[in-house]
Structure 1
Amino acid sequence: MRTLATCLLLGLLSQGAWAALDAPDQQRLNDIQQRWAQIQYQLPAEQRSVAFEQLASQASAFARERPGAAEAWIWSGIVISSWAGAQGGLGALGKVKAARADLEKALALDPQALQGSAYTSLAALYDRVPGWPIGFGDTDKAEQLLQQALHINPDGIDSLYFWGDHLYRQKKYSEARSALQKALLAAPRPGRESADAGRRKEIETLLGDVNKNID
């Protein structure tokens, strides 16, 4: 469950995809995303659970107030899944299920929203949550979702990172290395410097683990 904190997915999204939202809503979503990156990559691990809990309240309220905005549901799912990852243990399973529900709502509204990030985030859950009878984890489902994410955003840092992580978990080390090396070449996202820097560190760490299994 601890690795769920990496999901997420995601501060992972281009601002250009927010065009459907009006300016105040764009700013609100931007604030949630920036706070997510700060918690995920700058706060000590022991402080993240409380911080994500507070942010989850804000993100969930935003989704309830803008129920037709897929972007709001995506970020609610991302924050709640990150909160679950920071908390860890079986007590996080309820939060993970709530995150899954939010991401499924986003997909029902607009699968293309935020460059298909709902697919990426949902795949990360299926890859990391324990399988039946404890949870709903399913590696085949994760792979299917990741393929859909890559179809929408083949060069994205997040879609490639989670694809590489999935391949690593399947012990497909050479394929994982190729995906992760490509992720490091992803174009920087304006206004997403903190999230990009944090994600690249995660990619480099995982790439080191992959290389140990190849060399």
Structure 2
Amino acid sequence: MKCITTIAVATLTLGMISSAAAAGADPLQTIQKKWAVCQYQSKDNDHQVYCLENLIKRNEEALQQQPNRAELKVWLAINKASLAGADGGLGALSLVKEAKVLLEQVIDQAPETLDGSAYTSLGSLYYQVPGWPIGFGDDDMAETMLLKALQINPDGIDSNYFYGDFLAEEGRKDEAIQYLTKAQQAKPRPERPLADEGRQQEIAKKLGELKR
């Protein structure tokens, strides 16, 4: 299913991750940067899936080495959820359920990790995953989680973006514009320029749709 070029590119990506690890780079920073590459710079869907699959392996290895590091659990959940969204196959529901368990563990043990990112990510799952009997989707739980994320990180780009996106899905247009605009004005993260660039594009697109 995946062409030779895709495999070669993904292999190169893995080599870059291994080189960074060998150089003593923080695995969390490496994982964050590679997620942005997978999410926003993949040439096609097959490449994105392959990129995320290999990033998950690297994330799992890092978590095995530092099993108590909550940040790595959050990012393993993010990577699994991202793969579910990219792949969309029969395994997608299993991936988001695995992500949910990881995020619940972090919320139970260290809820303020990465400025409440576990709440943001879990909230996004609750409104994007189908509800019963297929999945665990629940709009009330989504809003509860996303508001908790905003309590911890009221000015963050992701906390405001996902709540704004949720409000847009709920048809609460004016509120959605308010939070998306705040996300658009969030302070840049110098260590994550590609992620910021990609998120800002998503924000601009969503605001454009809402203001038509």
Contact 1:45–1:86 under 8 Å retained in 2: no
The worse-fitting range, judged by mean Cα deviation, of 180-189 and 88-97 is 88-97
Correspondences of 1:26-175 after superposition (within 5 Å): 27-46=26-45, 47-175=47-175
Q: Structure 2: which amino acid aligns with 1:84?
A: A
- What secondary structure sits across from 1:189 in the alignment? coil
- What secondary structure sits across from 2:91 in the alignment? helix
Q: What corresponds to 1:177 in structure 2?
A: 177
Q: C-alpha separation between the residues in 2 aligned to 1:199 and 1:135?
A: 26
Q: Structure 2: which amino acid aligns with 1:27?
A: D
The worse-fitting range, judged by mean Cα deviation, of 164-173 and 55-64 is 55-64
Q: CA deviation at 1:90?
A: 3.6
Q: Structure 2: which amino acid aligns with 1:32?
A: I
Q: Structure 2: which amino acid aligns with 1:43?
A: S
Change (3 A) 1:50 1:58: same
Question: What is the TM-score when the length of structure 2 is the normalising length?
Answer: 0.86
Q: Higher relative CO (CA 8 A, sep ≥ 6), structure 1 or 2? A: 1
Contact 1:69–1:109 under 8 Å retained in 2: no
Which structure would you say has the larger Rg?
A: 2
Q: Deviations over 1:32-91 (max 9, x none)?
A: 010000110111232111110110111122223322111010011011110111101443
Moved over 6 A (4+): none
Give the total of aligned pairs: 189
- What secondary structure sits across from 2:133 in the alignment? coil
User: Over aligned residues, Cα RMSD in angstroms?
Assistant: 1.4
Correspondences of 1:5-16 after superposition (within 5 Å): none
The worse-fitting range, judged by mean Cα deviation, of 57-66 and 170-179 is 57-66
Tell me if 1:188 matches 2:168.
Answer: no
Question: What is the TM-score when the length of structure 1 is the normalising length?
Answer: 0.85
